[in-house]
Amino acid sequence: MPESLLAPGAVLALWTLIMLFWMAATRFSAMAKAGVDINTAPPGGRGVDLEGALPPATNWKSHNYTHLLEQPTLFYAVIVFLHLSGGSTDLTRGLAWAYVVLRIVHSLWQATVNRIPLRFGIFLLSTLCLFALSALAVIATLG
């Protein structure tokens, strides 16, 4: 395992961009099949406007990309707090890597199978990792 607590954050940032490209590729293909022409879209249109026009499995990638820009923003802040305050330990690095692996598994599950009970379980486990990291960041920054 790399010694840097920032490495898991870099991996998750890269994964987020991979999801962006996967979403774009599947979305543009589905739009072509559905006869959606972005050149004739009304001004101010957004991706959410495609929800009813594209198949659900296509939209799942978009939903996941959005999710990767929500809770993980806390993760990025927490690992920076830990890094700057000397809170980079085997435990925090392990929790950070667990969070990233769980988020990637969550992405793959949501983008392909998307059965909610397991997806929620994966999300809950990653959230528990983030909670533990956050608590450790508070200890590291106050101590």
Q: What is the pLDDT of residue 1?
A: 64
pTM of the predicted structure, to 2 decimals: 0.93
Give me the torsion for CA of 28, 29, 34, 39, rounded to 10°.
30
Instruction: Report d(CA 124, CA 69) in Å as an integer.
Output: 17
Instruction: Report d(CA 121, CA 19) in Å as an integer.
Output: 21
- The domains located in the chain, with CATH, are 6-142 (1.20.120)
Over range 36-41, report the average pLDDT: 80
Instruction: Report d(CA 72, CA 61) in Å as an integer.
Output: 16
pLDDT-derived band at 46, boundaries 50, 70, 90: confident
User: Which residues, other chains included, contact 143 with Cβ-Cβ below 8 Å and sequence gap of 6+?
Assistant: none
96-111 tens-digit pLDDT: 999 999 999 999 999 9
Over range 80-107, report the average pLDDT: 98
